[in-house]
């Protein structure tokens, strides 16, 4: 696979210190001696803010996020989001959270499966397999709609943050909800995302909208279908002048990229044009994707 955006989030911070979360991360005395090494465990992920483990406690499996003690706001924000979810069909199921003198911990019921990057590497998403790609988009759209119903946008949708829990039919879970923000929040100035997936409005205006995640999902559709990045990682124009890049960007860029990697398909192209519009007002919404005829047709089959 020629995709090279295998990375943790490189941007995830407010543009100012105002309005930060209240600190609810007091040390829990009963967990002062908690140590993952005391339990059966294996590491399943690692990022800037800590590590993620599969841990077995009382014969039950959990995902355990071990977060640096200095990352109070990130810890607070994620557990507030997890605790307040109305439904979790496509999202993590919260179990517990606590802090000791060294780390914060978040536990949720373990999610069986593999992330989309692993699924591509393992050969499940074959190049130009339209049915699987569209089924995946449909399933992720359902997950984004679930977040939308909780008044949330994710803002870091990428291959690694989508777990494929079932291959037939395709089902997913969207993880790493720490990056989520409220849709109706008055101050939407923030910097979130991962290089290669981040929307134009986030890169250029440091803001987000109700359909910002659709751009990232469009990038994922392109990657799954072509096994290439949508924007080449070493693109000089994108790397050094995003403003000029997006000023010149239009649907021809999408078509040219599909042709360049010998993956042009009219249905995929038409859908990508809607998902990867540089202006959010013309980009398809989550509701629009849920009603999109091609996705519903694929789902029926």
pLDDT tens digit sequence for 87-128: 899 999 999 999 998 899 999 999 999 999 999 999 999 999
Residues 171-229 have pLDDT tens digits of 999 999 999 999 987 767 788 899 899 999 999 999 999 999 999 999 999 999 999 99
Taking the C-alpha atoms of residue 193 and residue 199, their distance in angstroms, rounded to an integer, is 8
Residues 6+ apart with CB under 8 A from 286: 141, 144, 145, 148, 210, 211, 213, 214
Cβ pair 140, 114 in contact under 8 A: no
Domain locations along the chain: 20-109, 114-300
3-state secondary structure of 273: helix
Only one residue has tokens 């890169």, namely: 203
Reduced to 3 states, what is the DSSP secondary structure of residue 185? Answer: coil
Q: Which residue has the tokens 């593999």?
A: 114
CA proximity to 105, closest of 22, 49, 162: 49
Query: Fold match between 20-109 and 114-300?
Result: no
Residue 104 gets the label, from left (phi > 0), alpha (psi -120 to 50) or beta, of beta
Distances (CA, A) of 11 to 45, 49, 195, 217: 18, 12, 8, 18
pLDDT value at residue 17: 39
Q: How confident is the model at residue 41 (pLDDT cuts 50, 70, 90)?
A: very high
Question: Is cis: bond before 169, omega within 30 of 0?
Answer: yes
Q: Compute the radius of gyration of the chain from its Cα atoms.
A: 19
Q: What is the CATH number of domain 20-109?
A: 3.30.200.20
**CATH dotted code for 114-300:** 1.10.510.10
Cβ neighbors of 259 (< 8 A, separation 6 or more) are none
> Longest C-alpha distance within the chain, in Å?
60
Buried b / exposed e over 208-227, threshold 16 CB at 10 Å, is bbbbbbbbbbbbbbbbbbbb
Q: Rounded to two decimals, what is the model's pTM?
A: 0.89
């Amino acid at each position: 696979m020629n995709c090279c955006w295998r990375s943790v989030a490189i941007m995830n911070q407010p543009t100012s210190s105002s309005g930060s979360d209240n600190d609810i991360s007091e040390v829990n005395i009963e967990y002062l001696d908690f140590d993952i090494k005391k339990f059966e465990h294996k590491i399943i992920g690692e990022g800037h803010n800590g590590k993620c483990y599969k841990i077995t406690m009382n014969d039950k499996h959990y995902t355990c996020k071990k977060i640096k003690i200095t990352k109070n706001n990130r810890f607070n924000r994620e557990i507030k989001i997890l605790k307040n979810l109305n439904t979790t069909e496509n999202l993590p199921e919260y179990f517990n959270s606590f802090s000791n003198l060294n780390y914060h911990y978040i536990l949720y019921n373990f999610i069986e499966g593999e992330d989309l990057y692993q699924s591509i590497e393992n050969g499940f998403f074959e190049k130009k397999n339209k049915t699987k790609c569209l089924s995946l988009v449909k399933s992720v759209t359902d997950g984004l709609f679930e977040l939308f119903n909780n008044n949330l946008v994710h803002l870091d949708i990428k291959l690694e943050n989508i777990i494929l829990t079932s291959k037939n039919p395709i089902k997913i879970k969207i993880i790493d909800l720490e990056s989520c923000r409220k849709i109706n929040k008055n101050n939407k100035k923030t910097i979130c995302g991962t290089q290669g997936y981040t929307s134009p409005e986030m890169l250029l205006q440091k803001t987000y909208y109700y359909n910002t995640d659709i751009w990232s999902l469009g990038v994922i559709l392109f990657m799954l279908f072509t096994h290439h990045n949508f924007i080449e990682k070493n693109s000089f124009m994108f790397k050094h002048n995003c403003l000029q890049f997006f000023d010149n960007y239009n649907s021809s860029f999408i078509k040219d990229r599909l042709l360049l990697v010998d993956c042009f398909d009219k249905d995929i192209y038409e859908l990508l044009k809607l998902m990867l519009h540089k202006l959010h007002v013309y980009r398809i919404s989550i509701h629009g994707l849920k009603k999109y005829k091609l996705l519903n047709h694929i789902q029926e089959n």
